[in-house]
Homo-oligomer: A and B are copies of this chain.
Amino acid sequence: MKQLKGNAVVGQSGGPTAAINASLAGVIRGVSAHRDLIPELYGMRNGIEGFLSSDCVSLLPLFEDEKRLRQLEQTPAAALGSCRKKLPDPKKDRAFFDDLIARFREKDIRYFFYIGGNDSMDTVAKLSAYLETVDYEMRVVGIPKTIDNDLADTDHTPGFGSAAKYVAVTLSEIVRDCAVYRVPAVTIVEIMGRDAGWLTASAALPGAVGAEGVDLIYLPERPFTFEQFTEDLQNAFKRHPNLVVAISEGIRSPEGRYIGEGAQSGAADAFGHKYLAGAGKVLEGFVKETFGCKVRSFELSLPQRCAAHLASDTDLTEASLLGSSAVSAATEGKSGAMAALERVSDKPYQCSVVFRPVAGIANAIRKVPDEFINRAGNGITPAGIAYLRPLICGERTLEYKDGLPIHVII
């Protein structure tokens, strides 16, 4: 294998997570360990979009010690900024790619690392496909991240474990909160995940590991019917009066229509405009109508993806490992690949880093498999719990100042 000397560039793309900066820290660690081959590491601001306008920052001088890298790891959301730019088809828009290559050449960039989800892997795939056709050697490796855990060809994705830990811990706290009164009440918590229910499935963890758990869980992988929901609630009320229900924002009717689709909350503003409501608000209205009991719903919203203060140590450690492994593998010749995790065992939990061809990953969505969802479609099986449990384990001791976790702003 030919040694390739030259600089590296790294970018972050897609929605924020609590672990995406740990992946960046891993890339910085990886490059620092290969300074003989890679003298300079550029960070592109706002992903490929920033690179196209030469908006780059030299990263190595900013992170010369491990303490600063640990602070970066406890910083949520993409420290370099993000974008949602989709690259054109390399066969159709060669000018776009030629411009890109000229920019790489100008900075002697020979290593390209991109941290992101499906769309980012699409960028990696297109860029490496184009590189096959031109006389410029550059190695391109994708580093996965998404709270949705729906990327193909990896056991799980960095960012998911921390989001799952946030969901599990928060639901365990909400269950305690709801348990204090004796009046019948339903609390509906809407969780991110339009097409895959991984994050909502994590709501099953408190109940499965001995704490008090949520009563019902609905994922987009199974059709949702109001008849079944009514029956499920009736049965749950026989056990205790304070029900907590976790639903994915993407739950759908048997006909495939989103439950939240086209629904209106009934609230109107000063101008009489009505608001579109989510699935939670629709179920809230339904429960009020059907059961007449106290009911409320809310979304976990942004905190579920950016609550770095509650990150899973397993997640942050793996995120960094994938980042540094991507660099090592690239120096050894790997390109057009995504760093991925392969589970070796559940007990003790062990994953190894593998590299998978990036072509094809971009367009696949990995859903929660059938054997992880119970027959009634309202809970998670022991197999699902065995998969999820290790991913939320471990807590970091964060560095705080004035009562707030320290965040690194690049």
Report whether B16 and A306 are in contact in the complex, using a CB–CB cutoff of 8 Å. no
> Is there an interface contact between A285 and B301, defined as CB atoms closer than 8 Å?
no
Partner of A181, one of B81, B398, B404: B81
Known: A181-B83, A299-B298, A409-B212. A307 touches B269 (CB 8 A): no
**Partner-binding segment picked from A132-140, A171-179, A214-222, A358-366:** A171-179
Q: Which of A355-410 contact B (CB under 8 A)?
A: 389, 392-395, 397-398, 400-405, 407, 409
CA distance A333 to B46 in the complex (A): 66
Contact in complex: B271, A262 (CB < 8 Å): no
A263 contacts the other chain (CB 8 A):
yes
- The complex places the Cα of A291 from the Cα of B212 at a distance, in Å, of 45
- Judged by a CB distance under 8 angstroms, whether A180 is at the interface is yes
> Mask for A190-220, Cβ within 8 A of B = 1, else 0?
0000000000000001100111100000000
Contact yes or no, B168 A77, CB < 8 A = no
Q: How far is the CA of A206 from the CA of B305 in the complex (A)?
A: 19
CA distance A403 to B271 in the complex (A): 35
- Interface status of A303 (Cβ within 8 A of chain B): yes
Given A169-B309, A270-B286, A393-B403: A77 and B176 interface contact (C-beta under 8 Å): yes
In the complex, what distance in Å separates the CA atom of A75 from the CA atom of B172? Answer: 10
Partner of A176, one of B209, B301, B306, B397: B306
Give the shortest distance, in Å, between A75 (CB) and chain B (any CB): 7
- Asked if A181 and B46 make an inter-chain contact with CB atoms under 8 angstroms apart, the answer reads yes
Residue of B nearest to A269 (CB): B285
Q: Which residues of chain B are near A409, meaning CB under 8 Å? A: 212
Are the C-beta atoms of B273 and A289 separated by less than 8 Å?
yes
Q: Which of A11-42 contact B (CB under 8 A)?
A: 12, 16
Q: Are A301 and B302 in contact (CB under 8 A)?
A: no
> In the complex, A12→B392 CA distance in Å?
32
CB within 8 Å of B: which of A271-286? 271, 273, 275, 278, 281-282, 284-286
Chain B contacts of A186 at CB under 8 A? Answer: none
Kindly provide the distance from the CB of A177 to the nearest chain B CB, expressed in whole angstroms.
4
Of B174, B302, B394, which contacts A302 at CB under 8 A?
B174
Q: Which of A63-89 contact B (CB under 8 A)?
A: 75-78, 81-84
Q: Quick one: which of A96-137 are within 8 Å of B by CB? A: none
Q: With A75-B176, A77-B179 in contact, is A310–B309 under 8 Å at CB? A: yes
A77 with B177, Cβ < 8 A, contacts A271-B285, A407-B172 known? yes
User: Closest approach, in angstroms, between the C-beta of A12 and any C-beta of chain B?
Assistant: 8
In the complex the two chains form, is B273's CB within 8 Å of A285's CB? Answer: yes
With most chain B CB atoms within 10 A of its CB, the pick from A165, A181, A226, A397 is A181
Interface assignment of A149: CB less than 8 Å from any CB of chain B: no
Instruction: Tell me, rounded to whole Å, the shortest Cβ–Cβ distance linking A37 to chain B.
Output: 30
- A268: Cβ under 8 A from any B Cβ: yes
A7, CB-defined interface residue at 8 Å: no
**In the complex, chain B residues whose CB is within 8 Å of the CB of A301:** 298
Complex formed: what's the CA distance from A263 to B272 in Å? Answer: 11
CB of A314, distance to nearest CB on chain B (Å): 8
B177 contacts A16, C-beta separation under 8 Å:
yes
Contact across chains for B403 and A165 when beta carbons are under 8 A apart: yes
Q: How far is the CB of A144 from chain B (nearest CB, A)?
A: 17
Kindly list chain B residues whose C-beta atoms are within 8 Å of the C-beta of A173. Answer: 76-77, 302-303, 306-309
| Interchain CB contact under 8 A, B278 and A78 | no
A187 within 8 A of B: yes
Contact, CB under 8 Å: B285 / A278: no
Give Cα A269–Cα B278 distance, bound, in whole angstroms.
9
A265 within 8 A of B: yes
